[in-house]
Structures are given as structure tokens and as C-alpha cells.
Chain A
Amino acid sequence: MMNRFMMAALAAMLALGSTAPVLAQGGPLRLTITDGVIEPLPFAVPTFTAETAGAEQIASDISRLVAQDLTGTGLFREIAQSAYISQMGAFGSPVAYEDWRAINTQALIGGAVAVSGDQLTVKFRLYDVFTGAELGEGLQFAGTVTGWRRMAHKVADAAYSRITGEGGYFDSRVVYVAEEGPKDNRQKRLAIMDFDGANTQFLTDSSTIVLAPRFSPSGDRVLYTSYESGFPRINLLDVGSVTKRQVATAEGEMAFSPRFSQDGQRVVYSIANGGNTDLYISDLNSGGSTRLTNAPSIETAPSFSPDGSEIVFESDRSGGSQIYIMSAGGGEPRRVSFGEGRYGTPVWSPRGDLIAFTKQNAGQFHIGVMRTDGSEERLLTTSFLDEGPTWSPNGRVLMFTRETQGAGGTSALYSVDISGRNLQPVPVSGGASDPAWGPLQP
């Protein structure tokens, strides 16, 4: 036994002795890369397979909408189908990765659609071409044929999330103020649409002026300011039934600029009395109100932090309009914006790390973001009039109102990535303003 032990030890020593110099020569080659490239990720969405007769068109529509959603983010670039070397086989069949690598496809989405009566089933798989493996597992959604767009948005959300690691925002809706007519006689009404401008529905008529709609966290209700009584008042509208009621607020000449708390049970807003405007919070169920600020200045445009512990708002207590943060229960606010110009309409990011705002400086309006401590301010847009940013559910995109100059100027909705890229108009028929982005739909 001893001999065996000694021999084994000797062998081990010899082995170590022979490998050590190799390792001692420096180990692996170590490199550090600090400056990558910023470019859309190439992906391909071959037309989904129609698994039932008559599903060809809807399969094509869904695959096109998935591609459109991803391309619209600015983070992806679709490879034209004319460049495909091979097509996808039956759903789940082996993928010819080499063919897709040859055209520099990095992400490949394969899917299938089945229609049975009014029922629609969509399933898909996402492939990482260069690793030759599937990204996540296949998913299947079921719904109605009329809701095929939502099905496509859900597929796009899943693909987006798996590739970027962040939540999607395609299956979401936006409530806004639809506008018609010239500036001096503009008709306004509440409308709701898909994030991409499809499926627009009007929630109110144009008999009264409506302003600043805000989605509830669950997306089933909308708060907005109405001039129905001749003075600004806050209304609560149920999106499903399209019924509304006035919210009980504190006494005041005007109540406006409402926004839901994170639990959807309270609403924070502004009350104007005798030229002074302060912030209040009311319980939607009990109607009880609490005054949050008491200053001889204008405090308005409140927005809760994602955890509900703080409120960001704008105030001119320092002379010009600036952004402040205070506890959700009130108290002494702290100023967070110190740049030149006027800051307004702050909105806390769903991620909690940024505050979006409108900035007016040197005759121009900007949409910008800053850290919650006021640092790292970045202006994302510049125009004659940009205002009222609202966050996408994943905190990645901002939508806002852009108004053109002149008596014939119109209002439109635009979106921009928080990187400042991919500024593009939201396809809305007619004029639009005051967008509020709702949550992802269930």
C-alpha cells in the first residue's frame, strides 16, 4: 500500500511539475473591452406557420406586427425576408442556424398560428442564432381572433424581454386628449388607444374641456381634469364601463393635476385658492383629504415614487419653477433641479431611478430625465413646444406632446427612448396631447 501511495504521490508530483510551468507562463490571455458598438440587433421573423386552414392571413399579420413592434423600439433591425436563405419548417423543427448566421441574424422568431372558430392560438419560439440555442422556452397564447393584435404584442413583449432582460411595453394602452379644430376653438375629448396608435376609442365627448388624464396602476380607471362645471374639477372614469364620477377633493376654487398613488386608492392633486396653489391627497374611498404643502407659491404636478414613499412635484417657491421631492406624507421638500430655465411636469420612472420632466429654456422646450437627486440631467428632445412626458411600463420609453408653432399649429404625440434615440411620432389620427401610458395588460 505504501508503495502504491508513494507511486501515486510521485505521479502527482510529476504531473504538477510538468503543468506548473505552463500555467506559470501567464495563464489565459486577458483583455478588457470598454467601448462596444450601439446598433440595432438584427433579427428575423419568418411568417408564422398557419396550422389551420384559413389562418394564413392572420399568421402573416401577426408575424408582421411582431416585427413592427420590435423594430419600432430602435433596438432591433429586421432582416428582410428576401434575404432569407432558408425558411422555417414546421413549428419546433430543427433550425438551420448556419443559414441564419450567414445573413447575420442574431435572433430568430419562429411561430405558428391556429384558428378555430373565433378562437385564436399563437405560439412561438425564440432562437439565439450564434449560440445555436433557444432563448427560453416556447410560449403559447390563446384569445379571440379580434384580439389578434394583442396576441402579436404579447409575442413581441416576450421576445423583447428575453433579449433585453427588461419588461416589454407593447401590450399596453395610452390614454390621451384627442384634439380637433383650430387652436382658438379646439375641441378636446379623452381617448384611449394601443401604445402604437391602434384601436383608438373615445371616452368622453367634446362638450367640455378635459385635461391631463392619468391611468390607474391597474389600468382600469382614469383620472382627469374636467371643466364640466365651469371650473376645473377632478373626475374618475372607469375604462371598462366608461362611467365617470367627480372625485371628492379639498375645498378650493380649482382642483387639477391629479395622479394615482401606487395602490390606486388615493389621489394626489393641486388645489388653487386665491392665487395660491398647494398639494393635497385624498382617499378615493372615504373622500378624506390631507394638505401636503402650505406655501405662498405654486405647487403642482405631483407624482408618486414607485414605492409610494415620496412625491415629486414642481414649485416656484424659489422664484422660478423647479422640481422638488418630499415625503408622501408631506413635510419639507428638497429641491432637486438646479439648472437654468424652468422645470415642470416631473414624473417618476417605474424603475425608480429617473425623473422625467419638461424644461423650458432659451425659448425652447425639452423633454429630459435626471437622477432622483437631480444629477445626470439629460435633455432628450428640443422643439418649439414639448411637454408632459409619460413613462412606458418598463421605464424605457417616454411619450410626450409636441406642438408646432403658429396659429395653424397642431399637437401630436411623440415617443423617445431614454437614451435620446429613436424619436418618432405616435401614429394617431388627428391632434393629440397629454398622453398617459398605462400598465401592461394582463
Chain B
Amino acid sequence: MDRFGIQWTPGGYVSSGGHVFLLVWLIAGWGFDAEPLPFEVSDVSVVSSEEYAAIVEATTPDPSETPPDAPEVPVAEKAPDVPVQQEAAAVPTPPEAAAQDLPPPEAPEDPVPVIDQSPALPGAAAEEVVAAPNLTASPRPVPRPTQRVTAEAVAPPPEDATPDPVVQDRASEEAAPDAPVVEEAQEQTAPEESATEIVTADETPQGQLLETPRPRTRPNVPTPAPAPEVVAEETAPPETPEVAVDADAVAAALEAAAAAAAPADVPQGPPMTGSEREGFRVAVNACWNVDPGSQAARVTMTVGFTLDQGGRVTNSEVRQVAASGGDDASTQIAFDAARRAILRCQGQNGYDLPADKYSEWQEVEITFDPSGMRLR
């Protein structure tokens, strides 16, 4: 989309470029000699498809001449096929096997001629053969636009030769089944999905673009409510008394599960901010009394507890989660000190925590690490 609101597609580039070139050439005759012009026009208009095929056949090089094509088949071209494998996954045939098996039989068919002709393009005459009439007369649909650059585009054609890809497409359609070049297997897929593009291979690696992962499916959001209905419908039809008992049991289990898991009354706010966490930490820290000369000062203690929505420790229960660095006696003292700190600093009104983020701090684990306070 440019600033005029026009969306430029590869076909648009080709068409507009050809038209501009033709108009300039016809009106101004700018930069061209008078003699070659009529010669070129008559050539294009007179040659029939059979003759053209004959010419092509005559100009088709031997297989031994394929070396020039080799550079046009970069390995990276295979990368675009990777996403195709995902699509092919729906097909019974393994995608990788298809990619390997298909090329040999199809190699002789498609675009080989195109590739073979492209080396002849650099010649001045060849450029003029490109001729707009062919372009407009082509019944082929415009190639599907892609962001990738075809292998042929790697060859640095003159700027004025932008119509070349079109010729390649057209030629590929009309090409006769010949030229059993092995590389065709790779070229078979590339021309279909590629098109001329402004973006160069140097700027944007094709492989990365095409390997962009597909968007994942949305995670299933549990919906506890409808679940009982479905089960009820499934369990109701059976007539045996066992089923009735099962339905009750399942309903009870579901109800219990929903009650246990349903955070219906638990505010699910955004994550706690750093300052909120720090405020909580400082509040507990202020009550953690450490005796650096004691053996308990060598114990790192982790305790866990549950807070009610008022910020108070539920049932004043603090449990030991982990401990290291001391014997049983010093571990017990370290736990007592941690528990005392937590219970003491909650005060009468509980810890000052954001009520709308209760789900974030309902369960808490605090590690009391006195290593920095030990006597040294």
C-alpha cells in the first residue's frame, strides 16, 4: 500500500511497467533506433505458437548445458515447502516422501524451458522479444503474490527487464515436455509460489518468512457450568438404577470439584506490581528478628501460609516448606522466628495487599535467608 492508497502486487508491477515501457517507446521512441522497432513488432505478431515452440525447441540446449541452471536452484527454495508439509498432513501421504517422490516424474514437464531460456535474456534482442503483446495476450492468471523471491530473480536482470517473469510463466505453460533436467524437481514448486518481488533475498531470508509458525489454537477455557448439563443429559437416558446413582455421584463430585476449584469469589486482578510485592516483603522483614550469633542464623527457612482476603494468616497456620543449613534444634528455632515474624507483622488489620489481586497473594511462600547477616 503506498501513500496513494494503491496496493501494488507483483502483477501490478509487471503490468504497469510493461505499459509504461510500451507507451514511452511508442510515443517518444526514446533511446531506440528506428530500424529495430518494426522488426521486433513484426516478429512478435507473425510467429505462431507452433513456430515459437519450434524455435524454442531449436534453441533448447542439451542437457549438458544445464550447468548454468544450477545456481538458480538454491537450497533455500526447499524451505518454502516446509509449511506445505503441514497442509499435507491432512493428506494421507507423508509430506516429505511426496516432496522427494514427485520431482522425478514431473521434472520433464514444467518450467524447465523457462529456466533454459533465461540465460538467453541478457542479449538485447531477447529483451525486445519480451514485448508487451505477449503479456497482454497471456491467458494465464497472475501468479499468486508472495513475499518470496523466485530463484530466477536472483539473476540480476536489467531493471527494464521486469517483464521477464511473465515470460517465464507463459513459457512454462507452453513448454513442451522435454529437457529431462534433474533440477526441475526443485523448480517445479518454486515458480508456482514465487513471483517477482521488490524485496530481495538479501534483505529477507525466505526461510524465516515461510517458517513463521501458524497461530496456535486457543486454549480451551474451562467452563464448569455447562459440564454438569452435558453429563446430566448423557446419564439421564439410561434406565438402570445404577446410572441414577452414578449421576448423583458425578454431580456431587462435580459440585465438589467446582467448589474446590471455582475461584468465583477470588478477585482475579492483574499481576502484583513490584512495589506491591516489595511492600509485602518489607512488612514481613520488619518483624524478622535474627540473632546473628546463633546457630539458627545458619538456617535458610522457607515457610508457606494462606492469607484470607483481609490479609491475615488463615488460622494462624504457618507451615515449613523447606530448610537447610542447620540441625533439628536450630531449624526449629529458625522456623519459630519466621512464623513469629509473619504472625506478628500482620497486625490487627492484616497485611496491606491489593484486594483486587487476592488470587496473587492468597498463597504465599517466603524464604528467610540469613546468610547475609551471619557473623563474619
Task: Name A's B-contacting residues (CB within 8 A).
Answer: 1, 3-4, 7-8, 10-12, 14-15, 17-22, 25-39, 41, 75, 104, 106, 128, 130-132, 135, 163-166, 376, 378, 396, 417-419
- Can you give 27 A-B contacts (C-beta < 8 A)? A3-B242, A3-B243, A7-B247, A14-B227, A14-B257, A15-B257, A15-B260, A18-B261, A19-B261, A28-B363, A29-B277, A29-B280, A30-B367, A31-B277, A32-B369, A37-B287, A37-B288, A38-B289, A39-B289, A131-B343, A132-B316, A164-B294, A165-B330, A166-B295, A166-B329, A378-B375, A417-B293
5 further A-B pairs in the complex, CB-CB below 8 A; given A31-B365, A36-B289: A14-B224, A33-B288, A130-B340, A135-B336, A378-B376
A417: chain B residues at CB < 8 Å are 293
B280: chain A residues at CB < 8 Å are 29, 31
B257: chain A residues at CB < 8 Å are 11-12, 14-15, 18-19
A25: chain B residues at CB < 8 Å are 359
Tell me the bound Cα distance from A350 to B15 in angstroms. Answer: 97
Chain B residues numbered 355-371 whose CB sits less than 8 Å from any CB in chain A: 359-361, 363-371
A21: chain B residues at CB < 8 Å are 221-222
Are A38 and B291 closer than 8 Å at their CB atoms?
yes
A37: chain B residues at CB < 8 Å are 285-290
Tell me the bound Cα distance from A28 to B271 in angstroms. Answer: 12
Find the B residue at minimum CB distance from A353.
B295
Which one of B54-62, B128-136, B248-256 is at the A interface? Answer: B248-256
Find the B residue at minimum CB distance from A375.
B376
Q: How far is the CB of A27 from chain B (nearest CB, A)?
A: 7
A35: chain B residues at CB < 8 Å are 285, 372-373
Are A75 and B291 closer than 8 Å at their CB atoms?
yes
B250 touches which one: A8, A29, A75, A128 (CB < 8 A)? A8
Find the A residue at minimum CB distance from B291.
A75
A28: chain B residues at CB < 8 Å are 304, 363-365
With A38-B290, A38-B291 as known contacts, state yes or no: A26 contacts B340, CB within 8 Å: no
- Of listed A20, A26, A32, residue having the most chain B CB within 10 A: A32
Find the B residue at minimum CB distance from A378.
B375
Find the B residue at minimum CB distance from A167.
B329
A15 touches which one: B220, B235, B254, B340 (CB < 8 A)? B254
Tell me the bound Cα distance from A3 to B360 in angstroms. Answer: 39
Q: How far is the CB of B365 from chain A (nearest CB, A)?
A: 5
- In the complex, whether B281 has a CB less than 8 A from a CB of chain A is yes
Q: How far is the CB of B118 from chain A (nearest CB, A)?
A: 56
Q: How far is the CB of B296 from chain A (nearest CB, A)?
A: 6
A131: chain B residues at CB < 8 Å are 316, 336, 339-340, 343
Chain B residues numbered 218-243 whose CB sits less than 8 Å from any CB in chain A: 220-222, 224, 227, 231, 235, 238, 242-243
B285 touches which one: A36, A41, A104, A378 (CB < 8 A)? A36
Are B288 and A10 closer than 8 Å at their CB atoms?
no
B238 touches which one: A1, A3, A20, A130 (CB < 8 A)? A3
Tell me the bound Cα distance from A159 to B330 in angstroms. Answer: 15
- Of listed A1, A25, A41, A165, residue having the most chain B CB within 10 A: A165
- In the complex, whether B292 has a CB less than 8 A from a CB of chain A is yes
Q: How far is the CB of B314 from chain A (nearest CB, A)?
A: 13
Q: How far is the CB of A372 from chain B (nearest CB, A)?
A: 15
Find the B residue at minimum CB distance from A26.
B360
With A8-B253, A25-B359, A29-B272 as known contacts, state yes or no: A128 contacts B336, CB within 8 Å: yes
Chain B residues numbered 305-353 whose CB sits less than 8 Å from any CB in chain A: 316, 329-330, 332-333, 336, 339-341, 343-344
Find the A residue at minimum CB distance from B286.
A37
Find the B residue at minimum CB distance from A19.
B261
- Of listed A17, A29, A166, residue having the most chain B CB within 10 A: A29
Tell me the bound Cα distance from A418 to B291 in angstroms. Answer: 11
- In the complex, whether B47 has a CB less than 8 A from a CB of chain A is no
Q: How far is the CB of A363 from chain B (nearest CB, A)?
A: 26
B363: chain A residues at CB < 8 Å are 27-29
Q: How far is the CB of A162 from chain B (nearest CB, A)?
A: 9
Find the A residue at minimum CB distance from B336.
A128
Tell me the bound Cα distance from A378 to B376 in angstroms. Answer: 7
Tell me the bound Cα distance from A11 to B235 in angstroms. Answer: 13
Find the A residue at minimum CB distance from B271.
A26
B120: chain A residues at CB < 8 Å are none
Find the A residue at minimum CB distance from B255.
A11
Tell me the bound Cα distance from A285 to B148 in angstroms. Answer: 100
Are A33 and B368 closer than 8 Å at their CB atoms?
yes
B209: chain A residues at CB < 8 Å are none
Find the A residue at minimum CB distance from B280.
A31
A166: chain B residues at CB < 8 Å are 294-295, 329
B261 touches which one: A3, A22, A30, A163 (CB < 8 A)? A22
Are B281 and A106 closer than 8 Å at their CB atoms?
no
Are A18 and B224 closer than 8 Å at their CB atoms?
yes
Are B375 and A165 closer than 8 Å at their CB atoms?
no
Are A36 and B249 closer than 8 Å at their CB atoms?
no
Which 7 residue pairs are nearest across A and B when measured between Cβ atoms? A15-B257, A165-B333, A36-B288, A28-B363, A11-B253, A19-B261, A36-B290
Q: How far is the CB of A187 from chain B (nearest CB, A)?
A: 37
A130: chain B residues at CB < 8 Å are 339-340, 343-344
Tell me the bound Cα distance from A378 to B285 in angstroms. Answer: 27
Find the B residue at minimum CB distance from A135.
B336
Are B369 and A418 closer than 8 Å at their CB atoms?
no
Find the A residue at minimum CB distance from B277.
A31
- In the complex, whether B263 has a CB less than 8 A from a CB of chain A is yes
B40: chain A residues at CB < 8 Å are none
Find the A residue at minimum CB distance from B344.
A130
Are B373 and A36 closer than 8 Å at their CB atoms?
yes
A3: chain B residues at CB < 8 Å are 235, 238, 242-243, 246
B329: chain A residues at CB < 8 Å are 165-166
B292: chain A residues at CB < 8 Å are 38, 419
Tell me the bound Cα distance from A21 to B277 in angstroms. Answer: 22
B333 touches which one: A20, A31, A164 (CB < 8 A)? A164
Tell me the bound Cα distance from A184 to B246 in angstroms. Answer: 102
- In the complex, whether B284 has a CB less than 8 A from a CB of chain A is yes
Tell me the bound Cα distance from A19 to B372 in angstroms. Answer: 39
With A3-B242, A7-B231 as known contacts, state yes or no: A376 contacts B376, CB within 8 Å: yes
Tell me the bound Cα distance from A328 to B221 in angstroms. Answer: 73
Tell me the bound Cα distance from A208 to B246 in angstroms. Answer: 98
Tell me the bound Cα distance from A128 to B318 in angstroms. Answer: 14
- In the complex, whether B199 has a CB less than 8 A from a CB of chain A is no
Tell me the bound Cα distance from A401 to B39 in angstroms. Answer: 122
Chain B residues numbered 79-123 whose CB sits less than 8 Å from any CB in chain A: none
Are A29 and B365 closer than 8 Å at their CB atoms?
yes
B370: chain A residues at CB < 8 Å are 34, 36
Q: How far is the CB of A159 from chain B (nearest CB, A)?
A: 13
Q: How far is the CB of A28 from chain B (nearest CB, A)?
A: 4
Are A41 and B339 closer than 8 Å at their CB atoms?
no
Are A418 and B376 closer than 8 Å at their CB atoms?
no
Q: How far is the CB of A250 from chain B (nearest CB, A)?
A: 40
Q: How far is the CB of B33 from chain A (nearest CB, A)?
A: 76
With A11-B257, A32-B366, A32-B369 as known contacts, state yes or no: A4 contacts B249, CB within 8 Å: yes
Q: How far is the CB of A218 from chain B (nearest CB, A)?
A: 24
- In the complex, whether B142 has a CB less than 8 A from a CB of chain A is no
